[in-house]
Amino acid sequence: MFLKKIIILLFKGREMDKINDLLRYNDISSFDKNVDIALGNVAIYNDRFNAFCRVYYDDINVNRKRINDSILKNKHKKLAGMIVGLKDLFCYMDHPVQAASKILEGFVPSYDATVVRLISEEGGLIIGHQNCDEFGMGSSTTNSIYGESHNLLDYSRTTGGSSGGSSLAVQANMCHISLATDTGGSVRQPASYCGVIGFKPSYGVISRFGVIEHASSFDTVGILGRHIDDISDVFSVISRSDSSDLSMSKHSCSDVENKVYYRVCVLKNTIELGCLQEEVKEGISSFLNKLGSSIILDEIVFDRIEYCSAVYFSLTTIEANSNLARYTGMNYGYRSMDYKSYDEMLINTRSEGFGFEVKKRLLLANYLFETNDVNKYIDKSISLRKYFIDRFVDIFSKYDFIVLPVTTTTAFKIGSHDSERSDWDDILTTLASITGYPAISIPCSCDKDGMPFGVQIIGNIYGDKTLFNFVKLLYNKNII
Ligand code: GLN
């Protein structure tokens, strides 16, 4: 056992030794060097571990020169120096985007997603699109036409998903920041497995114009990075109202409340779960013990939490069914060669173009609609969603933050996830998605094999900046 541990550590040491760490983005004099480091890491790791599905070398050369000139003239913008990757769901003008699906083969958008435009306008360097689960449906980046992604710390383990390519790219120092989507945990869960920070904002505060939809009442644009300051800098640039996205909230994120002390509650029934890996249990409890006297800590029970994944899957599959109805082969993307009528074209295009997981969810949605008693599933899910939101309103009238695990375990071996744990993994992240509250996964500790896991902190609705401030405080006090 001991020998095995030493061998694992030696192997990991060698893999990790080859990684060059990116310097901080705001040290702008290092920009050129950073681009070389990032592309060097892409060259060493990408073929094997599969973070980026496309890297845009020609654009990088042009934009790098332009950004460098602005730095030399001291006219650089707020995000100058930042190297950014995009999950394969973000439209980037004149570059293909496919949602990791055959159905979007050949699709090249003629516009930028608003967030992509804002990042570019502020001097960020976009280097490519990243692997993910098809349309963001999955938890291990295995449902992808580009093949699966692998965890840099252990090739046999998952990066998580659906934003696995995005978390891996940050883990492997291929970029400072990845822009991804979090519908039910797709930013927070891979962040936990890869040992990086993953942030899901309050619902509706970041524009989704130009971001390929999964489930519209859940989808958010999330941010992955290594440093909380980088994430909050990007958030301040992209959390703007946008007339192209009418689904945005009218509320803006209030400024930070600086408090003398914070009130935190931990969800007792999540940290005492029988299926929680022992090290995760210990890691979270030692994190809580370190919070100290300036933070008031209580334990509360969140009843009915076990229904989260049922609520999430019934509502998201129905929304996905409607969002994905546009992929007919008629207007863009893949079209089957095998048809004699419009109906046949539609059926064959969708049968050949969508992967197994997407088809499974579309069938489930149709089943939920077809059933004679729609109320049995949908109305119940909607009323449970309301119950969870009411419960959050009540909790946040007494507390500033909720703490819970992000995942039950560290990264599992690809293709071997225990079903009880996988259900609880969905529950732990979908709670904040169902309610629309901001949540973050920050690296907490590691298991005996050196695999990392995060702790999840949920903030009050539109309290995204207060959440960042709290996390900064935790880093400043060496609590994490
Ligand atoms: N695992 C969840 C799902 O498959 C997460 C999806 C997401 O956040 N995009 O639906």
Per-residue three-class SS string for 347-416 = HHHHHHHCCHHHHHHHHHHHHHHHCCCHHHHHHHHHHHHHHHHHHHHHHHHHCCEEEEECCCCCCCECCC
Please enumerate in sequence order all residues whose Cβ is within 8 A of that of 13, keeping only pairs 6 or more positions apart, or say none.
none
> Range with the lowest mean pLDDT among 9-13, 222-226, 339-343, 419-423?
9-13
Q: Which residues of 156-182 are buried (b: 16+ CB within 10 A; e: fewer)?
A: ebbbbbbbbbbbbbbbbbbbbbbbbbb
Q: Cα–Cα distance between 37 and 15 in angstroms, integer?
A: 16
Q: What Å distances lie between residue 110 and 113, 196, 241, CA to CA?
A: 10, 32, 22
Here the tokens at position 428 are 């732990």
Look at 24-28, 45-49, 102-106 and tell me which has the smallest mean pLDDT.
24-28
Domains of the chain (ranges; CATH) run 2-254+436-476 (3.90.1300.10)
Instruction: Render pLDDT for 5-18 as a digit per residue (tens, 0 to 9).
Output: 444 444 455 556 67
Q: How far is it, in rounded angstroms, from Cα 444 to Cα 33?
A: 30
Region 407-431: what's the mean pLDDT?
Answer: 96
d(CA 386, CA 350) in angstroms, rounded, equals: 34
The SS3 call for residue 19 is coil
> Would you place residue 260 in the very low, low, confident or very high pLDDT band (cuts 50, 70, 90)?
confident
- Among 101, 134, 135, 137, which residue has the most ligand 1 atoms within 8 Å of its CB, making it the best to mutate? 137
317 Cβ below 6 A of ligand 1: no
* pLDDT classification of 1: cutoffs 50, 70, 90: very low
Ligand 1 pocket check for 183: Cβ under 6 Å: yes
Residue 370: its pLDDT value, please?
78
Reported confidence tier of residue 261, pLDDT bands at 50, 70, 90: confident
Query: In the prediction, which pLDDT does 264 show?
Result: 97
Relative to the CA of 316, which ligand 1 atom is closest? Answer: 10
How much of the chain, in percent, has pLDDT values that exceed 70? 95
- Confidence class for position 292, pLDDT limits 50, 70, 90: confident
Q: Which residues pair with 266 in a beta bridge?
A: 299, 403
Task: Name the strand (E) or helix (H) holding 59.
Answer: helix 57-72
CA of 183 to the centre of ligand 1 (A): 6
* Residue 386 neighbours by CB distance under 10 Å: 12
Rounded to whole angstroms, what are the CA distances from 40 to 55, 67, 451? 12, 19, 24
Look up the pTM and report it.
Answer: 0.95
**Per-residue confidence (pLDDT) for residue 334, from 0 to 100:** 98
User: Residue 377 has what pLDDT?
Assistant: 86
Three-state secondary structure call for residue 295: strand
262 C-alpha to ligand 1 centroid (Å): 31
The CB of 166 under 6 Å from ligand 1? The reply is: no
Residue 168 in 3-state DSSP?
helix
Res 140: pLDDT: 97
Q: What is the mean pLDDT of residues 50-72?
A: 97
Does residue 97 surpass a pLDDT of 60? Answer: yes
Confidence of residue 369 (pLDDT cuts 50, 70, 90): confident
In this structure, which long-range contacts are made by residues 168-171, counting pairs with CB atoms below 8 Å and at least 24 apart in sequence? 168/49, 168/50, 168/51, 168/130, 168/131, 168/194, 169/51, 169/52, 169/85, 169/130, 170/85, 170/194, 170/196, 170/224, 170/225, 170/226, 171/195, 171/196
pLDDT value for 15 = 59
The residue-averaged pLDDT of 315-323 equals 97
**Cα separation, 435 vs 431, whole angstroms:** 6
Q: What is the pLDDT of residue 7?
A: 45
pLDDT at 17: 62
User: What is the pLDDT, as a whole number, of residue 229?
Assistant: 97
- Ligand 1 center from residue 299 Cα (angstroms): 28
Residue 235's closest CA among 192, 206, 195, 197? 206
Q: What is the mean pLDDT of the chain?
A: 94
Q: Between the CA of residue 290 and those of 3, 4, 40, 286, what are the distances in Å?
A: 32, 31, 38, 6
CA of 183, closest atom in ligand 1: 8
Phi, psi of 436 (to 5 degrees): 85, 15
Cα(191) to centroid(ligand 1), Å: 13
| C-beta separation of 392 from 106 below 8 A | no
- CA distance linking residue 437 with residue 431, whole number of Å: 9
